A = this chain, B = another copy of it.
Amino acid sequence: MNQNNKQLIEKKLSNESIYNGKIIDVNVYDVELPNGETSKREVVYHQGAVGIIAVHDGYMYFVKQYRIATEEVLLEIPAGKIEPEDDAEKTAFKELKEETGLVAEDVRKLHEFYVSPGFSNEKIHLFEAKGLSLDQQQLDEDEFLELEKIELSQLEEKLINGAFRDAKTVIGVQHVLYSNDYK
């Protein structure tokens, strides 16, 4: 870390483990602020996930999925958690195949980003899938989602109208709309 960031850094003084769950762990820290005062910080740990930009034959591929946290069906790019035994790239190939039936010859990392660094370390690795061919969807037993493909010519209007309602999907759609790779 840059030397001149010292005046920004918080030091952990104590750590309380609140919850160790299936996909998240929650800890609360007492921290010392740069001015010597103390404060509490709540942190949600998550193993990270991938999202995949998949454009094939003039369509971008999405999945519709119910999210209990938001109590809505959302239209998202294919995505999935990184399991401890996998890396991000392997997860991208696997989730794309499972959720959409698309088989990629290659996946290329486009961005890595934290989704909510104010309280969580969850990072999304966003890939572009290349050399796609269409096979069969292979969902996990406890996974319920529907494939939806959208013509590239429809993406901009849908983005403006708020059809894409989560961060990774907005980033993926903006990339497809505006990068030279899809023109």
Question: Which B residue's beta carbon lies closest to that of A42?
Answer: B21
Distance (Å) between the CB of A172 and the closest chain B CB? Answer: 10
Interface residues in A, total, Cβ within 8 A: 75
| A:20-55 near B, CB below 8 Å | 21-24, 26, 28-29, 31, 33-35, 37, 39-46, 49
Q: A residues within 8 Å of B by Cβ? A: 1-2, 5, 7-10, 12, 18-19, 21-24, 26, 28-29, 31, 33-35, 37, 39-46, 49, 64-70, 72-74, 76, 79, 81, 111-122, 124, 141-142, 144-146, 162, 164-171, 174-175, 177-178
Interface contact A69-B142, CB-CB below 8 Å: no
Q: A1-B72, A46-B119, A74-B117 are in contact. Are A19 and B18 (CB under 8 A)?
A: yes
Q: What separation, in Å, do the CA atoms of A137 and B157 have in the docked complex?
A: 37
Question: Which B residue's beta carbon lies closest to that of A11?
Answer: B68
